Amino acid sequence: MTSTSTVGIHSSDNNYNNRLGGGTGSGGGLYESPQSSSSSIPTTFTTTAIFNNNNINYDADETIIDDLLSVSWNQDFGCFAAGTTRGFRIYNCHPFKETFRRDLKSGGFGIVEMLFRCNILALVGGGLNPHYPPNKVMIWDDHQSRCIGEFSFRSQVRAVKLRRDRIVVVLEHKVYVYNFMDLRLLHQIETLANPRGLCCLSHHSNTFVLACPGLHRGQIRVEHFGLKMTKFITAHDSQISCFTLTTDGLLLATASTKGTLIRIFNTMDGTRLQEVRRGVDKAEIYSLALSPNVQWLAVSSDKGTVHIFSLRVRVVGEDSSINSSTTQGPALLQQSSSSSLDALISPTMGANPGSSLSFMKGVLPKYFSSKWSFAQFHLPETVRFVAAFGSQNTVIIVGMDGRCSFDALNGGEMSQQEYVRFLKN
């Protein structure tokens, strides 16, 4: 059945005030008004994953605390939100600390989506006792302690993505795009069955790019709304399992349900720029993350390993014609229209090791000529986790709750720097 939406802007809603207003904690220094926030644009893109309901956090001398239902990064990887069976919590990554929480007895949240570091959140109920129906998206202003918008659908909401100017709601077969100022519906996009809620957005102020599943297996649809252009990219033969965009939306990293190959595409013309290999055995990819300078790619999977790959896509500073980060989007845009791919690919290969038999790539199976990961970190295979890049060649891993660093020159096994149990009283 095709899902439709109804939208309401609430100037006053005591029911929602009472339901969320009784939580503990304070907005503190986390929140800022979207109107008064800095105009500077973050240089990373978020990856989001849903944790299993049976991921329960323990302390040695404590009882069970909460079921962890979801974890999602904010748009600059500086914070993440955890939805639980009894509310939600927000954490700062640098330095690590809990900045806000709302503990509720009335139910849980399966989706908690932040808007950078401001007071606006998108909330969807989840768990066995959802705080809101799972077919509703509530836009919550925690500074005013009230709901300022509500979206209702005929089926379960699979994901919500936010930009400063747009709200994107993902259902299993459709994606809705709304204007943030008045909650007006702007676009509807039909997709292949999408139970994972796969969707990602650019966050550069000058570009609005949306990526979602297409209508065929292995296909990704890329909408360049500013250019009024749609591009369909056949990324894999199998179903898509995970993908992410750069902050300007011009590069796309993808993985399929096989989980063996990760591919990087130019979203303007659909050209494949690079392919790296996570492994030979099938794996479920939990998250993909691109570093701010697009030099590194992090991949987490159910094999209990975070892989770091070196990318050979041209980045800021490698070309004298690119003078600052503010010109990265237009520069890549101009290069992508060239008939040659040399402008988008570095003249030297990345540092990823290849098979010692790669010189026989025309004879041996394809994986012998693959580029393998540059650095790795191993974790328990029983935990679902997502990764993001921190500062100074560090990777933050939520799920195993730690931070590790990698050697940018020699690669190899990463070393753990920090370990924190974040879901505790």
Percentage of residues in the chain with pLDDT exceeding 90?
42
Q: Where residue 316 falls among pLDDT bands split at 50, 70, 90?
A: very low
Higher pLDDT, 322 or 71: 71
pLDDT of residue 23: 41
User: Which of 198-230 are b and which e, b meaning 16 or more Cβ less than 10 Å from the residue's Cβ?
Assistant: bbbbbbbeebbbbbbbbeebbbbbbbbbeeeee
pLDDT of residue 139: 95
Higher pLDDT, 124 or 18: 124
Whether the pLDDT of residue 242 is over 50: the answer is yes
Whether the pLDDT of residue 134 is over 50: the answer is yes
Whether the pLDDT of residue 173 is over 90: the answer is yes
Average the pLDDT over 40-53 and give the result: 26
Whether the pLDDT of residue 44 is over 80: the answer is no
pLDDT of residue 206: 85
Average the pLDDT over 267-276 and give the result: 93
Higher pLDDT, 60 or 137: 137
CB neighbourhood size of 355 (10 A): 16
pLDDT of residue 330: 37
Pick from 1-10, 210-219, 306-315 the range whose average pLDDT is largest. 210-219
Average the pLDDT over 286-294 and give the result: 90
Whether the pLDDT of residue 266 is over 70: the answer is yes
Whether the pLDDT of residue 303 is over 60: the answer is yes
CB neighbourhood size of 15 (10 A): 10
Average pLDDT, the chain: 74
Pick from 39-48, 58-67, 85-94, 251-260 the range whose average pLDDT is largest. 251-260
What tokens appear for 97 in the block? 């600390």
Whether the pLDDT of residue 425 is over 50: the answer is yes
For 144-170, what is each residue's pLDDT tens digit? 888 999 999 999 999 999 999 999 999
For 361-379, what is each residue's pLDDT tens digit? 444 444 444 566 678 788 7
Higher pLDDT, 237 or 374: 237
For 329-358, what is each residue's pLDDT tens digit? 434 433 333 333 444 444 444 455 554 434
pLDDT of residue 350: 45
pLDDT of residue 373: 67
Whether the pLDDT of residue 8 is over 80: the answer is no
What tokens appear for 213 in the block? 């599943």
Q: Where residue 398 falls among pLDDT bands split at 50, 70, 90?
A: confident
For 72-123, what is each residue's pLDDT tens digit? 999 988 899 999 998 999 999 888 889 988 888 778 999 999 999 998 999 9
pLDDT of residue 397: 86
pLDDT of residue 390: 83
Q: Where residue 38 falls among pLDDT bands split at 50, 70, 90?
A: very low
Q: Where residue 406 falls among pLDDT bands split at 50, 70, 90?
A: low
pLDDT of residue 40: 27
Burial of residue 406 (CB within 10 Å: 0-12, 13-18, 19+) is: buried
pLDDT of residue 361: 43
pLDDT of residue 321: 36
Average the pLDDT over 41-64 and give the result: 30
Closest CA to 3 of 200, 139, 190: 190
Whether the pLDDT of residue 45 is over 60: the answer is no
Which of 67-81, 167-181, 351-365, 379-393 is predicted with the least confidence, judged by mean pLDDT? 351-365
Q: First vs last Cα of the chain: how many Å apart?
A: 43
> Contact 230/222 with Cβ under 8 angstroms?
yes
User: Which of 248-278 are b and which e, b meaning 16 or more Cβ less than 10 Å from the residue's Cβ?
Assistant: bbbbbbbbbbbbbbbbbbbbbeeeebbebbb
Give Rg (Cα) of the chain: 21
